[in-house]
A and B are shown apart, each in its own frame.
Chain A
Amino acid sequence: MFEHIDGIGTFLAWSATAGLERSVARSKLREMRAAASCRTPKLACVIVVLLLSASAAHAQTTVAIKGGTVLTMAGPAIENGTVLIRDRKIAAVGTSVEIPAGAAIIDATGKYVMPGLVDAMTYYGIRPFATNDLSSPVTPQNRIIEAYYPFGEFMRGKGGIERDVELLEGGVTTIYIAPGSRQVIGGQGAVVKTNGRDYDSMIVREPAAIDMTIGDIAKTSPANPPRAGIAALIRKTLVEAQEFDRALLNFNRKSEEEKKTAQEPKRDPAKEAIVKLLHRQVPARIEAEALGDILAAIRIKDEFGIDVTIDGGVGAWKARDMLAQKKISVVLAPTSYPYLSNYGVSWIPELYNETNDYNAALLLKAGVIIAVGSFGSGNGFEGRGYQGRWLLLEAGLLTAYGLSEQDALKTVTINAAKILGVDGRVGSLEAGKDADVIVLDGPPTRIRTWVERVYMDGAPVYVREKDVPAERDLLR
C-alpha cells in the first residue's frame, strides 16, 4: 500500500514541475486516483483525508498584522506598520493601511515583522541516500525534486504536508534544495516552500539551477577525476550539449519534406538539461571554495556565456572585484562553520587557510550580491531541516563581522531570493508577493529572540507556545 502512496507522491512531484503540462497532469492524476480508488478503497480514503486536511488548513482569509516594526527588506524599517494579507498574497504594507472589516487582526505591538527566510543552499527534506549518485560524476538529468519529501516521517503521519517544526521555528519558508555536492554535475536543483496547502503549490521554481561542484569537495568522490579533470569534464559536458543543441536547431530548421529523410536527434534528458543552462534559462550553481576553483568557475562562465552562482566561496573575498564586475553572486556557507553546520571545508587545510570571517563584508563592499545558506542537511531519517533554526543566528554573526543589520538580514531574505530567481514571489514584504510572513518577539538577530508566528501563503502554519522557558520541560 505504501508503495502506491509513494508512487503518487513521486507522480505529484513530477506533475507539479511539468509547468505547461500541469493541467494535463492534474487530469491524469484524477484518473490515477479514480483507478486507485477502484482497486483499493483504503488508498482513496487516505487521499481524501490528505486533500481535506490540506484545504481546511489553508482557507482563504484576510489577516492584518498590526503595530509591529516591519522589516520589509525592500526599504527602511517601518515603525508601527501594518502588513495586510489577502488571498495568499501581501495586499499592502505601510503605516496607513486600511484594514477591511472582517479581517483577522494580529496585534504585533512591540514585535518585529519580516518576510519568511530564504535559505539559499540546503539539502533539507530530501529522502535519505537520495543525493549524490556517486556511480557517475555527471548526471544533469537528475532532479532533486523527485526526492523532496515534506510528508513527515515515512510510515507515520496523518497525511498531507507535514510541518517541519525545526525549519518553521527558524522562520525558514523558502529553500533551495540541491542534488548533493560530491558529483561534478549532480543535477537540477529546485526552489521549494517548506510548507503549503498541497505539494503542487510548494514548488516555486524547478529546475532552478544546474548544480555543480569543483575542487576539493568534488575530489572526495572516487568516481570523479582529479582537480583539472573536473573542470575539463564540465567543459566536455557543455560542449556536447552545444552540439546537441545545434543538431536539434538544424533539424528544426529543415522543411517538412527534408525532415522525412533527415535523422532526428534522439531525446536526451541530460543534454536537454544542460541546454537550459546554455540558453540561460537557469544558472549553474557551482560549489567552488578555493580561489583557484572560483577562478576556474569564472573561466567556464566566460567560455560558454552561462550564468553562474558560486556556492561556498571560502576564498571568494580574494576575487571580489572580478565577481562584482561579472555579476556573479555568491552563496556563502555559515560564518560559524564548523560550529553549526556539517559543512566540511574546515577539514581541508588549504581551504582553511583561505577562510576570512570578513568574507561577506568584503564581497558586499565590492558590490557582489551575497546570500548565506545553511548548507544544512538534517540527519533525521527523512532528512528534515534540523539546522534551519540557526539561519537568523548566522545573520546575527554577520553583524559582528562588518555587516549592517539590514544587509545581514538581506542575505537570508531578499538577496537569497534574487540569487534563486524567485524574488518576484518571496524575500520581501511588498504588495503582490506571496504572504510568507514571520513575526518575532524581538529584534531578529538577538540571541533570545524567537519566531512567534509563521504565515505561509497567508495561512498560519506555526505559532510558538507562549513562554517556553526551561520550566516547561521541568514539568515532565
Chain B
Amino acid sequence: MKPARNLVFILALGLLASIAFTRSLPDSPLALIHAAVHTAVGPPLQNATIIVAEGKIKDVGVSVNVPAGAETLDLAGKVVIPGLIDIHSHIGTFGLTSDDANESPMPVGPENMALDALHLDLVDWAEAVTGGVTTVVTGPGSGERLGGQSITIKTFGADLNKRILRDRGEAKMAVNANNLSNIPLIRSTFYKAQEYMKAWDRYEAGDKKGPAPKRDLGMDALVKVLKREVRVRCHIHYASDMMTILRLKDEFGFDLTFEHSTEAYKIANEIAKRNVGCVVLPLGTRFGVSEDVLRGNAILDKAGVKIVMHTDHPVAQEKWLRLNAIISMRYGLPEDAALKAITINPAELARVNSRVGSIEPGKDADLVILNGPWFEPKSRVDLVFVDGVRAYDRSRQEEK
C-alpha cells in the first residue's frame, strides 16, 4: 500500500480518536471567515463568514458576527462549497476483489438492503473524502431487473449509526434494451404489489379482523414505491427505454430518477414534463460518445430537468465526482447548475436535503474548502468538514 494512502488511513484513525476526545468537551463554535462561499442555493458570497457549532451550520453570510470564544479559520483566497453528494455509487459494496452489489441469480430482489452488505473498512471511503465527497447513495448494481435498496450514508464519521442518513429505500431497477421480456416482468411485479397493498389496506381498514395477509419483504419494499415513500432508480441508456419507463410511471405513479441517462437529452421535454430527475455522465465520458451527448446535460438543464452527476464508483473513482460537473461546464452547463448537480440536486432527489446539500443554517456542517475556483481541474480540495469535524486536511496528509 502506498505511503500516502496509508497515511490518510492512519491519520483518519487518529482523527477518530481525537474526535472521541474532543467530543467529550463542550463544543466551541468554529468561524470560517473571509471565504468565497457558494451555498448552492443562492448567489456566491464574497468575504463571507460561516459559523459552525455542534456539527451544524449555525449561520452564513457577509455580515455574520463571530461569537465570542469561537475558533476562527481564515479562508482568504479560498473557496467554500457544500460537501459533495454522489447519488449513484457502489462504494462499499464493490470491493476491489469482491462484488456484493449484484445478487445475480435473482432477477427480482427488492428486499435486499445494501446496508447488509456494506464494507466499511475500504480505503475508498477516505479517498472519497479527499475529493470532497461527503455523502453517497450507494447500493445495488444493475444485475437484477428489480434490484435492492440503497443506503444514503456519509463517507466519514466515527459512529456508523450517525453516518447513515437513510438506511433503506430507492428501489433499483435496471432496464437493458436487449430483452423485451424485462418490461412485462417489471409490470406484473407492480401488479402483484398493487394487489398486496390493497390486501393489507383492506386488512388495516377492517381493524385487523380475520387472517393477516402473508408478509412478503419484497412486496413491502414495492408498496413503499407505490406510495411514493421511496423513489425508483432506473439504470437506463436508451431514449426508447426511457419512454417505456415513463409509461410505467404514468401507469403506476411512482417517483423516478433515470440513472446514467445517456440519451435523456433526446427526450428532454418528455422527461421535464414528468418531473423525473436524471443522473448523468461518467460512462459517457469514458466511452466514445459524441459531443452531443456531452452537451446533453446543458440541454436537460435548459429544459428544466433536475440533473445530478454520479461516479458509479468503482466505474469512476469516487474522488472524481467534481470532475463530472467540471466537464459539464465545458460543454455548456452554467456554473451554478453544475454545482447544484453535485450538491443540492442529489440531496433533494435522495430526500436528504433537510440535512445536507447546501450551506444554510440548520444543515449539517459538511463543507469543502478549495484553493481556487471549484471548477478548475487545477484547484485542489484543501479541507473537508463532515458534521463540523475536520475529516481531511491536505496540508497535514499530503506527501511532499
Contacts and interface: CB of A to CB of B under 8 A. Distances in A.
Interface string B1-33: 110110000000000000000000000000000
A473 B377 contact: no
Contacts of A339: 282, 285-286, 316-317, 320, 323
B362 to A, nearest CB: 33
Contact of A356 (B4, B282, B378): B4
Contact of B317 (A346, A354, A356, A387): A346
Contacts of A341: 286
B2 A470 contact: no
Given A339-B317, A340-B285, A386-B288, A448 B377 contact: no
B326 A355 contact: no
B324 to A, nearest CB: 9
A340 B283 CA distance: 9
B226 to A, nearest CB: 36
Contacts of A386: 287-289
Nearest to B376: A447
Interface in B119-138: none
B96 A447 contact: no
B308 interface: no
A247 interface: no
Contacts of A387: 288
A474 B377 contact: no
Contacts of A336: 320, 323
B288 A384 contact: yes
B315 interface: yes
A353 B124 CA distance: 11
Contacts of A10: none
Interface string B373-400: 0011111100000000000000000010
A474 B375 CA distance: 24
A379 B314 CA distance: 21
**Chain A interface main SS type:** loop
B4 to A, nearest CB: 6
B315 A338 contact: yes
Given A347-B96, A474-B299, A400 B282 contact: no
A336 B286 CA distance: 11
Interface residues of A, number: 39
- Tier of interface size on chain B: 35 or more
A473 B292 contact: yes
B330 interface: yes
B286 A338 contact: yes
A469 interface: yes
Interface in A278-309: none
Contacts of A346: 314, 317
A169 B286 CA distance: 17
B50 interface: no
Contacts of A399: 377-378
Nearest to B325: A447
A342 B96 contact: no
Nearest to A384: B288
A400 B285 contact: no
Nearest to B300: A470
Interface string B261-284: 000000000000000000000100
Contacts of B282: 339
Interface in B64-91: none
A468 B292 CA distance: 11
A380 B376 CA distance: 30
A341 B378 CA distance: 19
Contacts of B329: 447-448
B302 interface: yes
A353 B1 CA distance: 5
Given A342-B287, A356-B4, A448-B330, A400 B377 contact: yes
B2 A356 contact: yes
Contacts of A340: 285-286
Given A338-B315, A379-B288, A448-B330, A397 B2 contact: no
B298 interface: yes
Interface in A166-193: 166, 169
Interface in A201-240: none
B1 A470 contact: no
B333 interface: yes
B398 to A, nearest CB: 8
A462 interface: no
Contacts of A393: 327, 377
Contacts of A166: 288, 291
A316 to B, nearest CB: 12
A470 B302 CA distance: 9
Nearest to A318: B2
B63 interface: no
A346 B124 CA distance: 12
B44 interface: no
A101 to B, nearest CB: 39
A357 B8 CA distance: 14
A415 interface: no
B218 interface: no
A225 to B, nearest CB: 23
A355 B2 CA distance: 7
B161 interface: no
Contacts of A358: 4, 399
A396 interface: yes
Contacts of B380: 400
Contacts of A349: 96-97
Interface string A319-354: 000000000000000001011111000111100111
Contact of B287 (A347, A379, A397, A474): A379
A441 to B, nearest CB: 12
A357 B381 CA distance: 14
Given A353-B5, A355-B2, A387-B288, A338 B317 contact: yes
Interface string A459-476: 000000000111001100
A259 interface: no
Contact of B295 (A338, A347, A470): A470
A445 interface: yes
A475 to B, nearest CB: 11
B332 interface: yes
A400 B378 contact: yes
A446 interface: yes
A339 B223 CA distance: 37
A354 B5 CA distance: 10
Interface in A370-415: 378-380, 384, 386-387, 393, 396-397, 399-400
A169 B294 CA distance: 14
Contacts of B1: 353
Contacts of A473: 292, 295, 298-299, 332
A398 to B, nearest CB: 9
B97, B288, B299, B379 — which one has the most chain A CB atoms within 10 A of its CB? B288
A199 to B, nearest CB: 23
Contacts of B298: 469-470, 473
A353 B378 contact: no
A336, A339, A384 — which one has the most chain B CB atoms within 10 A of its CB? A339
B333, B378, B399 — which one has the most chain A CB atoms within 10 A of its CB? B378
8 contacts: A166-B291, A336-B320, A339-B320, A379-B288, A386-B289, A400-B379, A473-B299, A474-B302
The 5 closest A-B pairs by CB, nearest first: A386-B288, A470-B332, A470-B298, A349-B96, A396-B377
Given A393-B327, A473-B295, 16 more contacts: A166-B291, A338-B286, A339-B282, A339-B285, A339-B317, A339-B323, A342-B286, A348-B96, A353-B5, A397-B377, A399-B377, A447-B327, A468-B332, A470-B295, A473-B292, A473-B298
Interface of A: 166, 169, 336, 338-342, 346-349, 352-358, 378-380, 384, 386-387, 393, 396-397, 399-400, 445-448, 468-470, 473-474
